[in-house]
Structure 1
């Protein structure tokens, strides 16, 4: 596949790159989305690459992987393949506790497969164990914030609440669709987080088009006020095909953090 990869990746305007700022991350970062197929895994990989570039030890956890057969590359495999370079690979841990084959919400897919999912309490213990050995733990959820991750109805938001209850610092990165209608989805997610006292670190727009239209460009301006949190960047569509060295080199131009 390498011969089909462009030598350089798409970048955003240089003003955005020049305005990058250090973002103080909590011990645990929950990455959620306003929906599916909006670039959440690629955004997770870009964030992972930036944190690794700081010299940090990073763990990436996918609590439940659905829609893949055994042996297929899962989301954490994609993150590792894009974010880890020979220099940083030893500082990256990836973990996928369970996988079910149908491309459905984890609780539905597990119920149909006759599989028992780990509980939110189980995931919280795993995260705390990872946090004891890593500087940052990044947890990529399934779909949106309130998608059920276990058979008891527990969600990524519940995981964040459980971790904060025991004193673990937690923040949320929301990956959103850049197109028309996204402001409502962002506002709903932000409101759900605020109701649970879960800090929203910021919003990342995934699958950013090469030629954005009026809706996309105005969304960029409106998101901070709608979300009550900064826009952390825009991930261009198609960058998941890049080689790791190109991906990690270009990632700082997509995110306004370093």
Structure 2
């Protein structure tokens, strides 16, 4: 597997006022300051510290694109949604491509390196997910959306690895899932009647579900389990921002003692 993929940071707006940006008193969520850096700068820094030199930032805000450029990333125009933006970035940046989001405020370089090295050489696409018990241990009080499988309840970590050009084939499926990201039932319904029944009976493992969805798109897809439940924390609502700020304050206090 190539050791130097490119990276895409999705930092576009869904339109209208962002409640988290409004709560923080800034124009764009990615520009919220945490400690001494904006959220976007923190994500760019984590990606670069993971050894990835070429970084694109997809955004429809001139201020966010300027922040991306200030930190040495390539500013890319956002399309109509994350999946469409990723499709455009695939053409510009190629594969392998790590994909994450501009609101992944706690992202760490070691999580990225660990994720990439664990992607099988045969995989076209990989997704990082975290089990509920890992999230609750690392981020007590953080509210996540879960999918329930035979091997536990899982939540996404906003980290994807598009390993080969065939990964472009998952974009259409991603667009469907994107529309239903807050309605887990509609996502699992795409498994088909046989696997759906196993899911309802609590007998379907996550890995099998991801592999099946990949086959539907004509690719080999794998799920990688996050070692740290904090990887599932993004800043999707004001309560998430409060949690991240508290966590960072506690981490800074711990380093001073």
**Normalized against structure 2, the TM-score is what?**
0.32
Higher normalized helix content (fraction of residues): 2
Q: Which structure has the higher relative contact order (CA within 8 Å, separation 6+)? A: 1
